[in-house]
Amino acid sequence: MPQRNLTERLYNLRRDRSSGYEKPYKPALLLSLIDLIERGDIIRNQILLTDDLISRYKDCIAIVGSADDVTKIAYPFWHLAGDGIWVLYDFSGQPLYRPAQEGIGSLSVKRIRESMHHASLDEQLFIALNRPIERNLLRDAIISRYFPKHRDKLRASRADFLQQSEDKADDGGALENDPARSAAFSKTIKCVYDFQCAACGIRLRYQDLNLVDACHLVPFSLSFNDHPSNGVALCKNHHWALDRHLIAPERVAGQLIWKSSKRLDPRTDDQHLLIELEGQPLLLPRDEDFYPADASIEWRMERLLG
Ligand SMILES: [Zn+2]
């Protein structure tokens, strides 16, 4: 779909006018989504109804909504499917929303989370929203069409949102400390590794918090490389060990495995956690594009304490 058609589609969202004016929910949800994409929270076209999205949506509604607007995100989330903005898929891969199915009962965040595997944006729209120039054009189009009076407040709110960095210091206090860059890397790595430690497999999430760290293989201060292939998700223990060159990934016969330092002493119980890792496979992302790059692996192996 060319840009013009995308803009037209965004201009013509069907909105509830039952209370005498157009409700702001759908365009506010789209703006929220665009902000999350810009911040690096959404890197693949599999969108979930996350707490971050809900929180951003409430911020937007607080600016563009009126007093009697409810902030139930479930409604616009569901009904954007009817505008062809995205397709909601259930856990068997079938579309969840059907046009004739308006009265599906009471929608709720819980209900959507239980029944929806993910939402996929129109592919062309997703591509456009990942290109900064097109993203800005589409954002401006939405604001001009639906919220021209709130342009300044929306801009200020967005700047605040983009500056919030979820994680203070990756890499033990990153030398090149750009919070937005570092937060984007962190989010990307955690997502592609599905919040799981690539060494022990622990995955612990509590509300918006999670246990794993996003670690650079070659430190950013040396490589200036934030591509996911220069990173790995590790729990605090294994992050600590990687930083001290007590463990490192290695490629053996095409497989990525962990090596542990020969300096670790098998006679001491407290080093077993690391020694037992020797020869174990890395728990890798599903998408091979995000596997650690050979150059990054070699950098680590060269420094493994021998
Ligand atoms: Zn671990």
Cα 273 to ligand 1 centre (Å): 9
* pLDDT at 4 exceeding the cut of 70: no
Cα 241 to ligand 1 centre (Å): 10
Cα 210 to ligand 1 centre (Å): 13
Task: Give the Cα-Cα-Cα angle 47, 48, 53 (nearest 5 degrees).
Answer: 100
50: its two tokens? 């996350």
Is there a contact between 43 and 192 (Cβ–Cβ < 8 Å)?
Answer: yes
Cα 282 to ligand 1 centre (Å): 11
Average pLDDT, the chain: 86
Q: What would the pLDDT profile of 236-259 be if each residue is shown by its tens digit?
A: 999 999 988 999 999 999 999 999
SS3 state at 204: coil
How high is the pLDDT of residue 169?
A: 37
Cα 231 to ligand 1 centre (Å): 15
Cα 205 to ligand 1 centre (Å): 14
Name the band, by pLDDT with cuts 50, 70 and 90, for residue 8: confident
Q: What would the pLDDT profile of 276-287 be if each residue is shown by its tens digit?
A: 999 999 999 998
How high is the pLDDT of residue 239?
A: 94
How high is the pLDDT of residue 105?
A: 61
How high is the pLDDT of residue 166?
A: 42
Q: Which of these, 195, 215, 198, 214, lies nearest to 206 by C-alpha position?
A: 195
Total Cβ atoms within 10 A of residue 230: 22
Q: What would the pLDDT profile of 149-203 be if each residue is shown by its tens digit?
A: 999 999 999 988 887 644 433 444 444 556 777 888 999 999 999 999 999 999 9
Cα 190 to ligand 1 centre (Å): 13
Place of tokens 């997703």: 126
Residue 184: C-alpha distances to residues 53, 75, 85, 90, 216 (Å): 16, 29, 25, 28, 13
Place of tokens 């990687």: 242
Cα 163 to ligand 1 centre (Å): 29
* pLDDT at 102 exceeding the cut of 60: no
Name the band, by pLDDT with cuts 50, 70 and 90, for residue 139: very high
Q: Which of these, 49, 8, 46, lies nearest to 29 by C-alpha position?
A: 49
CA distance 87 to 238: 38
How high is the pLDDT of residue 177?
A: 57
Q: What would the pLDDT profile of 31-67 be if each residue is shown by its tens digit?
A: 999 999 888 777 778 899 988 899 999 999 999 987 6
Is there a contact between 130 and 45 (Cβ–Cβ < 8 Å)?
Answer: no
- pTM (global) more than 0.75: no
